[in-house]
Amino acid sequence: MRAFLTSGLCAGALVLALPVTAGAKPLEREHYTFHDTDTFTDTDCGAPITIDYTADFAGVFMLKKGRAGDPTPYYFDNYSGVETYTNTANGKTATLAHQGLYKDQRIEHVEGTIYRFTAIETGRPVIVYGPDGRKLIFDAGRIRYTFLVDTKGDADLSNDEFIADDEPQVAGPHPIFFDEVNFCDFLDLLR
């Protein structure tokens, strides 16, 4: 389940860790890559199954200067990735592909050092391909997030404190986002 949730957790961590706007030269702009491998045995979904897991993610993220003199930066992340799960006993493979764009749209001062962030994620954050390479299910469209953060009054993102969030507004099919497919269903593809 840990690897199946990688995309959501990575996106969530980015949402909470950093906030980008259109306009001036970015404060930061970086291309990134991430590679991970693991072998694990799942015993939560019926008969034990041992999985070889690989993940490759890449993208570009930017931080842009806050608006109207506000020190709070805006965050932008254009990402893509592939996660591959292979049953070590029979060689069956299933794949999760990710492609999307996350960006802060609006940052509003609430009071003191507390700000309300409105951000969107668009694209196809998760696509599930079965052992035969056929696309089985996917999330697509737009998700709008709204959350409160205490920025401590500075541009140092490492000390920001997440306070609360609203229920995301979802447009388009997002069966994976809404947990209509769970990790055990995904592992069943490999049996």
Span 30-67, pLDDT tens digits: 999 999 999 999 999 999 999 999 999 999 999 999 88
pLDDT by residue (tens digit) across 136-149? 999 999 999 999 99
Inter-residue long-range contacts of 166-174, CB under 8 Å, 24+ positions, other chains counted: 168/143, 168/144, 169/143, 169/144, 170/141, 170/142, 170/143, 170/144, 171/141, 171/142, 171/143, 171/144, 172/139, 172/140, 172/141, 172/142, 173/138, 173/139, 173/140, 173/141, 174/139, 174/140, 174/141, 174/143
Q: Report the percentage of the chain scoring pLDDT > 70.
A: 87
7 has a pLDDT exceeding 50: no
- Of the candidate ranges 15-29, 41-55, 85-99, 110-124, the one whose mean pLDDT is the lowest: 15-29
pLDDT > 70? residue 177: yes
pTM of structure: 0.79
Q: What is the pLDDT of residue 24?
A: 67
What region, left, alpha or beta, does residue 87 occupy, with left being phi > 0 and alpha being psi -120 to 50 degrees?
A: beta
